[in-house]
Structure 1
């Protein structure tokens, strides 16, 4: 048997607690198990560490030397672990505009635990999650997902109508969700929240204009190529001089998801971020 970290920890704990009983309790092991560990340690080192003729726990000269070196090694290991964990960064994929308050609270809590995050803008964060480019993803639709990804709902977002300033809909009074069902629709196929099927009675002949990211989507809206529906945070976070955002009383809300790969198991840093994110209120 070779010398292991558990031997060092057992010996240092025994010296700090002063008795096998208290040390075993602190280490969550039985007293006989701790005694065997110390005996194994002395056999590995081929020298006595404890003066067993003394009425109380007393170390031999070799034991005192081993104690000093063990404490130094354990301290170095703790510092090394902290340093290495500080270098680890969890890659968070997102298609556009993260939900401000939720993400700020999540990031603060995660960084309080020593974690670091890297934000990675992506046209298709679900695909990037599947191929390992990112560790977790925040998305607004999971239409392209596979069983290899675990998804958890983290909240809902109110949505608004987006139209060109040149569209009659920019000024039309009394608009309702159903009134939009026949208008040409701009669909972001990668990360958008709205398709023709978002209406209860979809028109099979409805015209659609497709794109692959938010930047293309908003320029198509601005050019009056069609209408769009987008989370309401775009009003303040993504203004455009040629786009009007309108609040309608009955636009269905969209769902926000957090995803991660099922296999391999998420790394400890990723798991910590997931646990942190899922405890931050979103609704």
Structure 2
């Protein structure tokens, strides 16, 4: 006998609903596919489990007895899977300031619906961490240079804002236009920053670039009045620094937020996390 788990779950669903159409909706498969699965089970067992007619589906005596055993087996299996699943962990890599409230909603929904926990891993280069398999999924802002074979899911776009030192002349202007950034020294996070000279055409790029290697270096360099910075607006809500001032930025292109993962890593957990992530990113 060759019986798979999908055969048993299909049989119990049809038996419970007494309907192929309702069972196919529950199992998210087509009705012809479900009928083939039940037929395979009966052929493999060499018994008739269901009596079918154009109006209803009933269990045979053998099918009713078989159902009792199958339900006990599936219940025991589901209990075992629940024990294991609650001990799992999905590692989410990020470089700075997880977007809110997306991150909180996604983690809460994933852990509540799935069971495993999310380990939040701060790293200067989430994509490099993904390549090294020290994280399972990476949150990336800006343009994505994903590893070969990786899959990218765009979530949404964040508006940008300018930031400068409290001693910077920019604080007196009230706002800054995207095309006027070229006239100011620009502090750039070369590893995980969302804005750099690559963000403008060659003839509109800032004349002076001050490079830093991570968010903290970038933050303190701007605070020291070495130049101005351009960041997603989340930084204004989440950054508490007495020496910084935020200035509205007009006509700036939005900054994309994406999730990147490798297709062969933690497939089921990543799929469930992506479902929660996309749902949290979708406006209600």
Q: Same fold (TM over 0.5)?
A: yes
Partner of 2:281: 281
Alpha-carbon distance in structure 2 between the residues aligned to 1:282 and 1:17: 37
**SS at structure 2 position matched to 1:275:** helix
- 1:219 matched to 2:182: no
Task: Give the deviation of 1:107 after TM superposition.
Answer: 2.3
Partner of 2:132: 131
Alpha-carbon distance in structure 2 between the residues aligned to 1:243 and 1:86: 43
Alignment of 1:1-283 (within 5 A): 9=8, 28-29=35-36, 33-39=40-46, 57=61, 72-115=72-115, 116-173=117-174, 175-202=176-203, 206-261=207-262, 263-264=263-264, 266-282=266-282
**SS at structure 2 position matched to 1:113:** helix
Bigger mean CA offset, 87-96 vs 213-222: 87-96
User: Residues 163 and 228 of structure 2 are in contact (CA less than 8 Å); yes or no, is this contact kept in structure 1?
Assistant: yes
Deviations 1:185-222 (A, max 9, x none): 11101111111232345467822111121111100001
User: Residues 24 and 31 of structure 1 are in contact (CA less than 8 Å); yes or no, is this contact kept in structure 2?
Assistant: no
Larger Rg: 1
Q: Which blocks of at least 5 consecutive residues in structure 1 are unaligned? A: 41-55
**SS at structure 2 position matched to 1:100:** coil
User: Residues 223 and 243 of structure 2 are in contact (CA less than 8 Å); yes or no, is this contact kept in structure 1?
Assistant: yes
Task: Give the deviation of 1:8 after TM superposition.
Answer: 10
Task: Give the deviation of 1:35 after TM superposition.
Answer: 4.2
Alpha-carbon distance in structure 1 between the residues aligned to 2:6 and 2:170: 75
Task: Give the deviation of 1:68 after TM superposition.
Answer: 7.9
Q: Which blocks of at least 5 consecutive residues in structure 2 are unaligned? A: 24-33, 48-59
Alpha-carbon distance in structure 2 between the residues aligned to 1:172 and 1:259: 38
Alpha-carbon distance in structure 1 between the residues aligned to 2:42 and 2:198: 69
Give me the CA root mean square deviation. Answer: 3.5
Alpha-carbon distance in structure 2 between the residues aligned to 1:252 and 1:259: 22
**SS at structure 1 position matched to 2:106:** helix
Alpha-carbon distance in structure 2 between the residues aligned to 1:279 and 1:196: 33
Bigger mean CA offset, 252-261 vs 106-115: 106-115
Partner of 1:53: none
Alpha-carbon distance in structure 2 between the residues aligned to 1:30 and 1:163: 64
User: Residues 176 and 248 of structure 2 are in contact (CA less than 8 Å); yes or no, is this contact kept in structure 1?
Assistant: no
Partner of 1:50: none
Alpha-carbon distance in structure 1 between the residues aligned to 2:79 and 2:137: 27
User: Residues 8 and 70 of structure 1 are in contact (CA less than 8 Å); yes or no, is this contact kept in structure 2?
Assistant: no
Task: Give the deviation of 1:264 after TM superposition.
Answer: 1.9
Deviations 1:59-80 (A, max 9, x none): 9xxxx8x998766544322101
Alpha-carbon distance in structure 1 between the residues aligned to 2:143 and 2:214: 15
